[in-house]
Structure 1
Amino acid sequence: MTQLDVLRVFCGPDGGRGNELGVVRDGAPVPQEASRRRIAGKLGFSETVFVDDPERGQIDIHTPSLRLPFAGHPCVGAAWLLDVPELVTPAGVVGARQDGEFSWIEALPEWAPERTLRQYASAAEVDALEVPPPGEWIYAWAWEEEAAGRIRARAFPGRDDGVREDEATGAAALLLTAELGRALNIRQGLGSQILTAPQPYGWVEVGGRVRLTHSGLPLPR
């Protein structure tokens, strides 16, 4: 029987928070895109990963409403769970490595879905934001300590599928890193942490802590 693992990706320093991720380790029994989207919708996570080849690290990423060629926290979580040196996504081959308590991926900014990066004057302004209505995908951010690369951020997907705010979003962090051209330490959502670092030739590393919360759950019918 095809089963589901649930992870939390980009956990805070205390191991809490992080963005929940569903991983279907054997995607073969659910080959159709519509069926995968239906399962992702019933699970209600911001993204769900279907593993099509665990040895090659080939994955397929779905939100409750669409399929994504690449996404940050699903890749970080899947790389940690599968323990592979790379992931094969429709966008391209994502490098992966483990470094102590952190799981890292390396990707190109152009693989990330389009996001509006909206800077605010202070972390307090970001904290006070109301969730906007569906429409634009907004990554709201402000410097907490610019000299140290510390950022406060919140993410509003703008989708009408029940996910009003993302707790932690690696793709948006990747785009912000590429725009600012420096390593970042991002505090997002209610206490998640995302680390990033620019790499040669336009690549960007994105990393964070991953925790397994449930293993071997049945898929929703």
Structure 2
Amino acid sequence: MTALTTTLEVQILRVFADQRGEHGNELGVVYDAAGLPGDLGIELTAHLGFSETVFVDDEPRAAFRIFTPAVELKLAGHPTVGTAWVLGERAGGNVPAVVRPRLATEVAAWREEDGVVWIRGAVADAPAWEFVQLDAPALIDELSPDAPEQRGRHQFWAWSDESSGLIRARTFCADMGVPEDEATGSAAIRLADRLQRPITVHQGRGSVLHARPAAEAGWAQVGGRVVSDGFRSVTL
């Protein structure tokens, strides 16, 4: 008996790209996904080798689900920023004022004049991270995702320029099925809330995240640039 297969058309984004449009965390986006089971989203994410993918269930309402290779998440930064950006592009450039992750509180979204797309979310909806501050950016660069102490859910960070709010960071999250994440918006949300100041995080190979606490306690904002690398047909 032949096993059933499913072919999905997946748009590939890079979220938190630098000013040249390079780097960023890859994200798969599937449209018209309301009838697709969550297990398929998890399988797709693992197949692509990404940290997250998104199923857009209701495009007019900007309603979507976020999957890692292991679980569905409440709120994650690069999937939410990426979804806000791409739905805006599909609507002629106007970022939706609100996007709706299935398991989280509604998230405000907007694009600023420099092209950076921002979201504002509840800090409590973001995954919890263990933050480890080191003394210098060079120590961050020396870390290995294979070290036993980095196999949980950690962000290691150091000030590159504290007066300017510049941070060098790397994130390891093996318990989410991702040995190292290229750019982690949820960690930036939690770190900005923790530090209570605006920050610019240079993470991974060269991704750039902007984050800041919101005026209301318990909320924070994260933003970045997004690039589309087109569509890929994936058979599972």
TM-score, normalised to structure 2, is 0.88
Residue 220 of structure 1: how far off its partner (Å): 2.5
Report what 2:233 is aligned to.
218
- Alignment partner of 1:144 is 2:160: yes
Q: Map of 1:90-101 to 2, 5 A cutoff?
A: 90-100=103-113, 101=115
1:103-145 deviation line (CA, Å, top 9, x unaligned): 1100121111111011000101111111134742000000000
2:131 matches 1:117:
yes
Q: What does residue 59 of structure 1 align with?
A: 64
Give the equivalent residue in structure 2 for 1:21. Answer: 27
Counterpart Cα distance in 1 of 2:191 and 2:153: 14
| Structure-2 separation of matches of 1:169 and 1:220 | 27
Q: Which amino acid aligns with 2:20?
A: D
Q: Deviations over 1:29-75 (max 9, x none)?
A: 41x12222122221221000000111111110001111101101000
**Residues 1:206 and 2:222 are matched in the alignment:** yes
- Give the equivalent residue in structure 2 for 1:171: 186
Letter in 1 for 2:143: L
What percentage of aligned pairs have identical amino acids? 39
Q: State how far apart, in whole Å, the 1-side matches of 2:135 and 2:8 are.
A: 47
Partner of 1:49: 54
Unaligned runs of 5+ in 2: 1-6, 89-95
Residue type of the partner of 1:219? Answer: V
SS of match in other structure, 1:155: strand
Alignment-derived partner of residue 205 in structure 2: 190
The alignment partner of 2:167 has SS state of strand
CA contact 1:123–1:152 (8 Å) conserved in 2: yes
> Deviation of residue 2 (structure 1)?
4.7
Distance, in Å, in 2 between the alignment partners of 1:160 and 1:191 is 22
Q: How many residues were matched structurally?
A: 218
Secondary structure (helix, strand or coil) at the match of 1:147 reads: helix
Write the deviation string for residues 172-191 of structure 1: whole angstroms up to 9, x where unpaired: 00000000000001100111
Number of the residue aligned with 2:13: 7
Greater mean deviation of Cα atoms: 52-61 or 152-161: 152-161
2:30/2:55 contact within 8 Å kept: yes
Show structure 1 runs of 5+ residues with no match: none
Q: Secondary structure, in 3 states, of the residue corresponding to 1:201?
A: coil
> In structure 2, what is the equivalent of residue 87 of structure 1?
99
